[in-house]
Amino acid sequence: MYRSHNCGELRMDHVGQTVTLSGWVQKSRDLGGLTFVDLRDRYGITQLVFNMDENQVLTEKARKLGREFVVRAEGQVRERSSKNANRATGNIEIDVKDLQILNASKTPPFTIEEDTDGGEDLRMKYRYLDLRRGPLQRNLMFRSKLAVETRKYLSDVGFIEVETPNLIKSTPEGARDFVVPSRMNPGEFYALPQSPQTFKQILMVGGFDKYFQIVKCFRDEDLRADRQPEFTQIDCEMSFVTRDQILDTFEGLTKYLFKQMLDTELPDFPKMSYDEAMERYGSDKPDTRFGMEFTDMTETVKGKGFGVFDSAEFIAGICAEGIAESYSNKDLKQLTEWLQRPQIGCKGLVYAKLNNDGTIKSTVGKFYSDDDLKLWAEKMGGKSGDILLLLCGEKEKTQKQLNELRLEMGRRLGLMDPKVFNPLWVVDFPLLEWDEESERFHAMHHPFTSPKTEDIDRMMTGDHETMKALRADAYDLVINGVEIGGGSVRIHDRDLQSKNFDLLGFTKEEAEAQFGFLLGAFEYGAPPHGGIAFGFDRLNAVMNGQNSIRDFIAFPKNTSGRDMMIDAPSPVDNEQLDELYLSLQEIEKSGA
């Protein structure tokens, strides 16, 4: 027998019992005649004690144990003389009578503790060691439970889990596809799904009514802390439902998950239109844990001879509360430089300090009288002790920049409480986005999203400008500034879907070749339907107040898309290429 108990289990009640534990050596200490070894498994850490006076051979053996050796120890549970209140097993220790080394270990390249000294690539290369650390163990256990609870909730309300294929044809979600060559079909390729979008819609046509799947999706995009080339979604679709019924269902799921996992009762989720989110926060995923909302100052500040403002399309500001005294000119200069970095690209920052003594100091004091500046303060809700921060330029760009500034000030001023969760639905997104460069419309969500009912007629008959103003029945679930999920009511009418493909620049032939199966299905009684997908990795991270999804994925890829442990991607030999018709010679021979 390897163990009678695990390393997190023993308490004062067990004192006097003979037990067997197995695990990894976290660390060992020699104190005169006594040797202490911390033995670790995924349940916790238990202290083993060896006494030189009582058993010299055994204690010498214990002294030779290195970090991460795997051992089995048998002994008696006894009360500790110096207790460790920070550890669940901290009241007891094991007086070891027998020690067996099950496996030795090389010295690990980084410390296997709560905090490690290992850099990211090193930790990924030795993922099996990193996975032994407490934070990763807890993250993956959290993830496992989150999946269980998701399945519980959704199946309780009638959803059926259905698997959809991974070797498919491109499903456009706005990223590049990963492609897989087909040996049996020379010169032809599968695409890995960017999402199961078309399949879940086909399942609705197939009568399944309520579908879900916890599913891998693949997108060949540049990576960031919250993006991986393969990631997991909770993917869902429903038939015969209105938008609000869909939102209610998934608000229910989200509230249930927060309650089960964190014992947190979420408030009802407010709905905010895309336009309102952009006006108030300059972002379609606003962090609503704090205020500092935008004030449009365009009309207020023009016409006083300050050329930069006078020539700007849009001027807006935020009010940073209570920092007039603590923020020096040097801090403001540094903030301006932060805004001028190419990632943000501001030309400059205009500010007005509302000093506690009633005076106002502004970078543009030359052009604006005290009364003018008082009017600014009034408009922006500023009071003594606050600083007004204004940016200007082309509207969309300025909104984006001011959003960055707002978030940065939120971070600097500690306004983003990690214990607070502020969910909301952002609704009524634009249907189409005009891309100047390619001179084409792109689907803001994806090509299967329905326009709002009241916009359907305009979509079928309207001109180019009309198309820009169409609203979609699309929605995002946002929590603390992170897009947790997104979805839409779908088009279920063949003509409307054809029109949408047409607007997106697909010829009839292209649409038929790529999505003929869906258009075909729509001719056989497609029910009205809609759905959503949650980013499962992100949901895990946000619920744990973290930005990066990497430590919620057992085997993630680094920012270059590499798996450092198995060293993928990697070259394949010529024979394999030949077999897949990927060498030029073979493609020519096959006539494809």
Q: Letter for the amino acid at 420?
A: V
Q: Tell me how far, at minimum, the Cβ of 195 lies from ligand ASP, in Å.
A: 3
Does 173 help bind ligand ASP (rule: CB under 6 A)? yes
Does 488 help bind ligand ASP (rule: CB under 6 A)? yes
Q: Tell me how far, at minimum, the Cβ of 329 lies from ligand ASP, in Å.
A: 45
Q: Is 163 exposed, middle or buried (0-12, 13-18, 19+ CB in 10 A)?
A: exposed
Phi/psi region, residue 218 (left: phi>0; alpha: psi -120 to 50; beta: rest), is beta
Q: Which of residues 190-209 bind ligand ASP (CB under 6 A)?
A: 195, 197
C-beta closer to ligand ASP: residue 286 or 486? 486
In a 3-state reduction of DSSP, which class is residue 76?
strand
Q: Tell me how far, at minimum, the Cβ of 530 lies from ligand ASP, in Å.
A: 8
C-beta closer to ligand ASP: residue 382 or 531? 531
Q: Tell me how far, at minimum, the Cβ of 446 lies from ligand ASP, in Å.
A: 6
Does 213 help bind ligand ASP (rule: CB under 6 A)? no
The residues facing 29 across adjacent strands are 36
Is there a contact between 162 and 567 (Cβ–Cβ < 8 Å)?
no
Q: Tell me how far, at minimum, the Cβ of 217 lies from ligand ASP, in Å.
A: 7
Q: Binding residues for ligand ASP, how many (CB under 6 A)?
A: 10
The residues, ordered by sequence, that sit 6+ positions from 580 with a Cβ below 8 Å of its Cβ are: 181, 182, 183, 586
Q: Tell me how far, at minimum, the Cβ of 462 lies from ligand ASP, in Å.
A: 24
The residues, ordered by sequence, that sit 6+ positions from 175 with a Cβ below 8 Å of its Cβ are: 194, 219, 220, 221
The residue from 123, 487, 489, 543 that contacts ligand ASP (CB under 6 A) is: 487
- The stretch among 293-301, 455-463, 485-493, 573-581 that binds ligand ASP (CB under 6 A) is 485-493
Does 229 help bind ligand ASP (rule: CB under 6 A)? no
C-beta closer to ligand ASP: residue 451 or 487? 487
- The stretch among 71-79, 117-125, 483-491, 549-557 that binds ligand ASP (CB under 6 A) is 483-491
Q: Is 143 exposed, middle or buried (0-12, 13-18, 19+ CB in 10 A)?
A: buried
Q: Which of residues 239-268 bind ligand ASP (CB under 6 A)?
A: none
Q: Tell me how far, at minimum, the Cβ of 398 lies from ligand ASP, in Å.
A: 28
Q: Tell me how far, at minimum, the Cβ of 448 lies from ligand ASP, in Å.
A: 7
Q: Tell me how far, at minimum, the Cβ of 529 lies from ligand ASP, in Å.
A: 10
- The stretch among 258-266, 379-387, 481-489, 515-523 that binds ligand ASP (CB under 6 A) is 481-489
The residue from 23, 75, 486, 556 that contacts ligand ASP (CB under 6 A) is: 486
C-beta closer to ligand ASP: residue 382 or 486? 486
Number of Cβ within a 10 Å radius of residue 141: 11
Task: Say if strands 210-218 and 160-161 run parallel, antiparallel, or are unpaired.
Answer: parallel
C-beta closer to ligand ASP: residue 171 or 422? 171
- The stretch among 28-36, 329-337, 427-435, 480-488 that binds ligand ASP (CB under 6 A) is 480-488
C-beta closer to ligand ASP: residue 410 or 531? 531
Binding-site string for ligand ASP from residue 505 to residue 544, where x marks contact by CB under 6 A and - marks none: --------------------------xxx-----------
C-beta closer to ligand ASP: residue 278 or 474? 474
In a 3-state reduction of DSSP, which class is residue 477?
strand
Give, as one character, the DSSP assignment of residue 208. -
Please give the Cα distance from 366 to 498 (Å, whole number): 58
- Cα of 184 vs its chain's centroid, Å: 38
Does 22 help bind ligand ASP (rule: CB under 6 A)? no
C-beta closer to ligand ASP: residue 212 or 281? 212
C-beta closer to ligand ASP: residue 40 or 529? 529
Q: Interior CA angle at 497 toward 493 and 498, to 5°?
A: 120
Task: Say if strands 44-51 and 92-103 run parallel, antiparallel, or are unpaired.
Answer: parallel
Q: Tell me how far, at minimum, the Cβ of 452 lies from ligand ASP, in Å.
A: 16
The residues, ordered by sequence, that sit 6+ positions from 52 with a Cβ below 8 Å of its Cβ are: 32, 33, 34, 35, 59
C-beta closer to ligand ASP: residue 488 or 546? 488
Q: Which of 441, 527, 515, 455 is nearest to 490 (CA)?
A: 527
* Cis status, amide bond into 165, omega within 30 of 0: no
Phi/psi region, residue 29 (left: phi>0; alpha: psi -120 to 50; beta: rest), is beta
C-beta closer to ligand ASP: residue 250 or 290? 250
Q: Which of residues 396-455 bind ligand ASP (CB under 6 A)?
A: 446
Q: Letter for the amino acid at 431?
A: L
Q: Tell me how far, at minimum, the Cβ of 245 lies from ligand ASP, in Å.
A: 15
Q: Tell me how far, at minimum, the Cβ of 471 lies from ligand ASP, in Å.
A: 16
User: What's the Cα-to-Cα distance from 47 to each of 10, 41, 112, rounded to whole Å?
Assistant: 10, 12, 17
Can you spell out the DSSP letters for 375-434? HHHHHHT--TT-EEEEEEESHHHHHHHHHHHHHHHHHHTT---TT---EEEEE--BSEEE
C-beta closer to ligand ASP: residue 92 or 532? 532
Binding site residues, ligand ASP, CB under 6 A = 173, 195, 197, 446, 486-488, 531-533
